[in-house]
Amino acid sequence: MKSILENRSNLAREVNKVAEVAGYLWQKGWAERNGGNITINITQYVDEAIRKLPAICGVNPIGATLPNLKGCYFYCKGTNRRMRDLARAPMENGSVIRICDDCASYEIIADRHVMPTSELPSHLSVHNYLIGKGSTYKASVHTHPIELVAMTHCNDFLKKDVLTKLLWSMIPETKAFCPRGLGIVPYMLPSSVELANATIKAIDDDYDVVMWEKHGVFAVGEDVIEAFDMVDTLNKSAQIYMDARCMGFVPDGMSDAQMQEISDVFHLPK
Ligand code: 2HA
Ligand code: ZN
Protein backbone atom coordinates (compact mmCIF):
# COMPACT_ATOMS: atom_id res chain seq x y z
CA MET A 1 0.00 0.00 0.00
CA LYS A 2 1.37 3.42 -1.00
CA SER A 3 1.71 5.88 1.89
CA ILE A 4 0.82 9.55 1.62
CA LEU A 5 4.35 10.22 2.95
CA GLU A 6 6.06 8.69 -0.09
CA ASN A 7 8.02 11.33 -2.06
CA ARG A 8 6.85 14.05 0.33
CA SER A 9 9.93 14.63 2.45
CA ASN A 10 8.63 17.70 4.34
CA LEU A 11 5.43 15.97 5.37
CA ALA A 12 7.34 12.76 6.23
CA ARG A 13 9.77 14.77 8.40
CA GLU A 14 6.93 16.24 10.48
CA VAL A 15 5.16 12.88 10.90
CA ASN A 16 8.48 11.24 11.82
CA LYS A 17 8.95 13.86 14.55
CA VAL A 18 5.59 12.72 15.97
CA ALA A 19 6.84 9.12 15.92
CA GLU A 20 10.07 10.19 17.66
CA VAL A 21 8.16 11.99 20.42
CA ALA A 22 5.69 9.09 20.77
CA GLY A 23 8.69 6.86 21.53
CA TYR A 24 9.93 9.26 24.22
CA LEU A 25 6.48 9.43 25.84
CA TRP A 26 6.34 5.65 26.05
CA GLN A 27 9.91 5.33 27.37
CA LYS A 28 9.21 7.92 30.06
CA GLY A 29 6.16 6.03 31.29
CA TRP A 30 3.92 8.94 30.34
CA ALA A 31 1.86 6.95 27.81
CA GLU A 32 0.29 3.91 29.45
CA ARG A 33 -1.94 1.88 27.11
CA ASN A 34 -3.52 4.41 24.69
CA GLY A 35 -2.79 7.41 26.94
CA GLY A 36 -2.04 10.78 25.42
CA ASN A 37 -2.50 12.19 21.96
CA ILE A 38 -0.74 14.34 19.40
CA THR A 39 -2.06 16.39 16.49
CA ILE A 40 -0.12 18.51 14.01
CA ASN A 41 -1.37 21.00 11.48
CA ILE A 42 0.15 19.84 8.19
CA THR A 43 -1.79 22.14 5.85
CA GLN A 44 1.38 23.83 4.56
CA TYR A 45 2.67 20.46 3.23
CA VAL A 46 -0.53 19.52 1.42
CA ASP A 47 -0.29 19.49 -2.39
CA GLU A 48 -2.91 19.24 -5.12
CA ALA A 49 -2.75 15.44 -5.20
CA ILE A 50 -3.50 15.24 -1.47
CA ARG A 51 -6.35 17.72 -1.84
CA LYS A 52 -7.90 15.40 -4.44
CA LEU A 53 -7.69 12.29 -2.25
CA PRO A 54 -11.16 10.86 -1.62
CA ALA A 55 -12.43 10.28 1.92
CA ILE A 56 -11.67 6.79 3.23
CA CYS A 57 -14.90 6.67 5.19
CA GLY A 58 -17.84 9.02 5.71
CA VAL A 59 -18.05 12.45 7.25
CA ASN A 60 -17.60 12.62 11.03
CA PRO A 61 -18.73 15.44 13.34
CA ILE A 62 -16.00 17.26 15.31
CA GLY A 63 -18.42 18.30 18.08
CA ALA A 64 -17.68 21.98 17.59
CA THR A 65 -17.72 24.50 14.72
CA LEU A 66 -14.20 25.82 14.10
CA PRO A 67 -14.24 28.43 11.31
CA ASN A 68 -10.47 28.99 11.15
CA LEU A 69 -9.92 25.34 10.23
CA LYS A 70 -11.60 25.62 6.80
CA GLY A 71 -9.40 23.77 4.31
CA CYS A 72 -6.97 22.55 6.97
CA TYR A 73 -5.33 19.14 7.22
CA PHE A 74 -4.06 17.43 10.37
CA TYR A 75 -2.10 14.35 11.24
CA CYS A 76 -3.74 12.87 14.37
CA LYS A 77 -2.85 9.97 16.61
CA GLY A 78 -5.60 7.34 16.37
CA THR A 79 -8.07 6.80 19.18
CA ASN A 80 -7.26 3.71 21.26
CA ARG A 81 -3.86 3.49 19.58
CA ARG A 82 -0.70 3.16 21.62
CA MET A 83 2.17 5.65 21.55
CA ARG A 84 4.63 2.76 21.57
CA ASP A 85 3.04 1.42 18.36
CA LEU A 86 2.85 4.86 16.77
CA ALA A 87 6.59 5.26 17.38
CA ARG A 88 7.21 2.34 15.00
CA ALA A 89 4.40 2.89 12.51
CA PRO A 90 2.91 6.41 12.54
CA MET A 91 0.64 5.93 9.54
CA GLU A 92 -0.82 2.70 10.93
CA ASN A 93 -1.61 4.26 14.31
CA GLY A 94 -2.64 7.71 13.19
CA SER A 95 -4.28 9.28 10.15
CA VAL A 96 -4.52 12.42 8.08
CA ILE A 97 -7.84 14.22 8.25
CA ARG A 98 -9.33 17.02 6.16
CA ILE A 99 -11.69 19.54 7.75
CA CYS A 100 -14.90 19.79 5.71
CA ASP A 101 -16.25 23.10 4.39
CA ASP A 102 -18.86 23.30 7.18
CA CYS A 103 -15.93 23.55 9.65
CA ALA A 104 -17.86 21.22 11.95
CA SER A 105 -16.89 17.84 10.49
CA TYR A 106 -13.90 16.00 9.04
CA GLU A 107 -12.97 13.16 6.69
CA ILE A 108 -10.09 10.71 7.01
CA ILE A 109 -8.05 10.73 3.79
CA ALA A 110 -4.87 8.71 4.53
CA ASP A 111 -3.34 6.22 4.97
CA ARG A 112 -6.11 4.00 6.36
CA HIS A 113 -9.31 4.04 8.42
CA VAL A 114 -7.85 5.04 11.82
CA MET A 115 -10.28 7.20 13.79
CA PRO A 116 -8.55 10.20 15.37
CA THR A 117 -7.87 10.73 19.08
CA SER A 118 -10.68 10.97 21.64
CA GLU A 119 -9.34 14.43 22.55
CA LEU A 120 -9.99 15.69 18.98
CA PRO A 121 -12.38 18.47 20.15
CA SER A 122 -9.69 19.91 22.48
CA HIS A 123 -6.91 19.57 19.92
CA LEU A 124 -8.83 21.04 17.00
CA SER A 125 -10.33 23.83 19.13
CA VAL A 126 -6.82 24.80 20.18
CA HIS A 127 -5.57 24.74 16.56
CA ASN A 128 -8.58 26.89 15.59
CA TYR A 129 -7.66 29.35 18.35
CA LEU A 130 -3.96 29.41 17.36
CA ILE A 131 -4.75 30.14 13.70
CA GLY A 132 -7.18 32.89 14.75
CA LYS A 133 -4.46 34.50 16.80
CA GLY A 134 -2.00 34.40 13.90
CA SER A 135 0.25 31.97 15.79
CA THR A 136 2.85 29.92 13.90
CA TYR A 137 2.43 26.98 16.31
CA LYS A 138 1.57 23.75 14.49
CA ALA A 139 1.71 21.06 17.18
CA SER A 140 -0.30 20.06 20.21
CA VAL A 141 0.62 17.26 22.57
CA HIS A 142 -1.34 15.74 25.45
CA THR A 143 0.47 13.34 27.78
CA HIS A 144 0.46 12.02 31.37
CA PRO A 145 3.84 13.02 32.94
CA ILE A 146 4.01 11.16 36.23
CA GLU A 147 5.57 13.68 38.62
CA LEU A 148 3.65 16.70 37.30
CA VAL A 149 0.34 14.85 37.55
CA ALA A 150 1.22 13.68 41.08
CA MET A 151 1.76 17.29 42.13
CA THR A 152 -1.78 18.23 41.01
CA HIS A 153 -3.17 15.97 43.74
CA CYS A 154 -2.22 18.68 46.24
CA ASN A 155 -4.59 21.63 46.34
CA ASP A 156 -1.90 24.16 47.32
CA PHE A 157 -0.10 23.56 44.02
CA LEU A 158 -3.22 24.37 41.99
CA LYS A 159 -3.37 28.05 42.89
CA LYS A 160 -2.33 30.37 40.07
CA ASP A 161 1.42 30.23 39.32
CA VAL A 162 2.36 28.40 42.55
CA LEU A 163 3.64 25.40 40.56
CA THR A 164 5.20 27.67 37.94
CA LYS A 165 7.33 29.49 40.54
CA LEU A 166 8.24 26.29 42.35
CA LEU A 167 9.27 24.47 39.15
CA TRP A 168 11.21 27.45 37.77
CA SER A 169 13.19 27.61 41.01
CA MET A 170 14.38 23.97 40.87
CA ILE A 171 16.89 24.40 38.04
CA PRO A 172 17.84 27.53 36.02
CA GLU A 173 16.93 26.02 32.63
CA THR A 174 13.25 25.66 33.47
CA LYS A 175 12.40 29.35 33.27
CA ALA A 176 14.75 29.83 30.32
CA PHE A 177 13.03 27.11 28.28
CA CYS A 178 9.48 27.44 29.66
CA PRO A 179 9.30 31.21 30.15
CA ARG A 180 5.50 31.26 30.12
CA GLY A 181 5.23 28.74 32.98
CA LEU A 182 2.50 26.21 33.62
CA GLY A 183 -1.20 27.06 33.38
CA ILE A 184 -3.68 25.14 35.55
CA VAL A 185 -7.06 23.79 34.47
CA PRO A 186 -9.18 22.27 37.27
CA TYR A 187 -10.36 18.68 36.85
CA MET A 188 -12.86 18.24 34.00
CA LEU A 189 -14.16 15.21 32.14
CA PRO A 190 -11.56 13.95 29.60
CA SER A 191 -12.52 14.66 25.96
CA SER A 192 -15.21 17.19 26.95
CA VAL A 193 -15.86 20.49 25.19
CA GLU A 194 -15.62 22.18 28.64
CA LEU A 195 -12.06 20.89 28.97
CA ALA A 196 -11.26 22.15 25.47
CA ASN A 197 -12.62 25.63 26.30
CA ALA A 198 -10.77 25.82 29.61
CA THR A 199 -7.54 24.81 27.83
CA ILE A 200 -7.96 27.57 25.26
CA LYS A 201 -8.58 30.09 28.02
CA ALA A 202 -5.33 29.04 29.70
CA ILE A 203 -3.40 29.29 26.39
CA ASP A 204 -4.99 32.70 25.89
CA ASP A 205 -3.61 33.67 29.32
CA ASP A 206 -0.25 33.11 27.57
CA TYR A 207 0.71 29.61 28.76
CA ASP A 208 2.25 27.14 26.27
CA VAL A 209 1.89 24.23 28.70
CA VAL A 210 -1.35 23.66 30.57
CA MET A 211 -1.83 21.20 33.43
CA TRP A 212 -5.10 19.28 33.51
CA GLU A 213 -5.63 18.53 37.23
CA LYS A 214 -5.25 14.82 38.09
CA HIS A 215 -4.93 13.95 34.39
CA GLY A 216 -2.02 15.29 32.34
CA VAL A 217 -0.62 18.21 30.39
CA PHE A 218 -1.55 19.85 27.11
CA ALA A 219 1.32 21.63 25.36
CA VAL A 220 1.53 23.64 22.15
CA GLY A 221 4.57 24.61 20.11
CA GLU A 222 6.04 25.37 16.70
CA ASP A 223 6.52 21.64 16.28
CA VAL A 224 6.01 18.51 18.31
CA ILE A 225 9.63 18.40 19.51
CA GLU A 226 9.36 21.90 20.98
CA ALA A 227 6.09 21.06 22.75
CA PHE A 228 7.62 17.86 24.16
CA ASP A 229 10.80 19.62 25.35
CA MET A 230 8.81 22.09 27.46
CA VAL A 231 6.88 19.31 29.20
CA ASP A 232 10.11 17.32 29.69
CA THR A 233 11.85 20.33 31.27
CA LEU A 234 8.94 21.09 33.62
CA ASN A 235 8.66 17.45 34.64
CA LYS A 236 12.41 17.30 35.33
CA SER A 237 11.91 20.12 37.84
CA ALA A 238 9.01 18.21 39.41
CA GLN A 239 11.30 15.17 39.74
CA ILE A 240 14.00 17.25 41.45
CA TYR A 241 11.43 18.64 43.88
CA MET A 242 10.20 15.16 44.70
CA ASP A 243 13.69 13.69 45.05
CA ALA A 244 14.51 16.40 47.59
CA ARG A 245 11.29 15.64 49.49
CA CYS A 246 12.14 11.92 49.38
CA MET A 247 15.55 12.72 50.92
CA GLY A 248 13.62 14.25 53.79
CA PHE A 249 13.86 17.99 53.20
CA VAL A 250 11.93 20.74 51.44
CA PRO A 251 14.20 22.08 48.66
CA ASP A 252 15.27 25.72 49.08
CA GLY A 253 14.76 26.55 45.40
CA MET A 254 16.69 29.33 43.68
CA SER A 255 16.31 32.68 45.41
CA ASP A 256 14.25 35.55 43.96
CA ALA A 257 17.52 37.34 43.14
CA GLN A 258 18.82 34.29 41.25
CA MET A 259 15.52 34.02 39.35
CA GLN A 260 15.70 37.72 38.51
CA GLU A 261 19.22 37.30 37.17
CA ILE A 262 18.05 34.48 34.85
CA SER A 263 15.19 36.66 33.59
CA ASP A 264 17.55 39.59 32.93
CA VAL A 265 20.28 37.57 31.20
CA PHE A 266 17.88 35.54 29.04
CA HIS A 267 15.54 38.51 28.42
CA LEU A 268 12.58 36.61 29.84
CA PRO A 269 9.26 38.06 30.98
CA LYS A 270 9.30 38.84 34.72
O1 2HA B 1 -6.15 9.48 24.47
O2 2HA B 1 -5.16 10.46 27.26
O3 2HA B 1 -7.22 12.06 27.66
C4 2HA B 1 -6.21 9.04 25.76
C5 2HA B 1 -6.17 10.19 26.69
C6 2HA B 1 -7.41 10.97 26.86
ZN1 ZN C 1 -5.23 11.86 28.86
CATH level 3 topology of 1-118:
L-fuculose-1-phosphate Aldolase (3.40.225)
Q: Which atom of ligand 1 lies at the shortest distance from residue 36's CA?
A: 2
- Residue 270 binned pLDDT confidence (cut-offs 50, 70, 90): low
State the maximum Cα–Cα separation within the chain, in Å, rounded to a whole number: 62
Mean pLDDT, the chain, integer: 97
- Residue 122 binned pLDDT confidence (cut-offs 50, 70, 90): confident
Establish whether domains 1-118 and 145-270 are of one fold: yes
- Residue 244 binned pLDDT confidence (cut-offs 50, 70, 90): very high
The residue whose CA is least distant from atom 3 of ligand 1 is 190
Q: Using one digit for the tens of pLDDT, what is the confidence trace for 181-227?
A: 999 999 999 988 899 999 999 999 999 999 999 999 999 999 999 99
Q: Which residues are catalytic?
A: 119
Ligand index nearest the alpha carbon of residue 123: 1
CATH level 3 topology of 145-270:
L-fuculose-1-phosphate Aldolase (3.40.225)
Pocket residues: Cβ below 6 A from ligand 1: 34-37, 117-119, 142, 190
Q: Using one digit for the tens of pLDDT, what is the confidence trace for 25-65?
A: 999 999 999 999 999 999 999 999 999 999 998 999 998 99
Q: Which atom of ligand 1 lies at the shortest distance from residue 144's CA?
A: 2
pLDDT at 264: 95
In the reported structure, the alpha carbon of residue 162 is separated from the centroid of ligand 1 by a whole-number distance in angstroms of 26
Q: Using one digit for the tens of pLDDT, what is the confidence trace for 145-182?
A: 999 999 999 999 999 999 999 999 999 999 999 999 99
In the reported structure, the alpha carbon of residue 142 is separated from the centroid of ligand 1 by a whole-number distance in angstroms of 7
Smallest CA-to-CA distance from 26 within 89, 85, 114, 93 is with 85
Q: Is the pLDDT of residue 242 over 80?
A: yes
- Residue boundaries of the structural domains of the chain: 1-118, 145-270
Which residues crowd ion ligand 2, with CB under 5 Å?
Answer: 216
Predicted model pTM: 0.97
pLDDT at 269: 81
- Residue 229 binned pLDDT confidence (cut-offs 50, 70, 90): very high
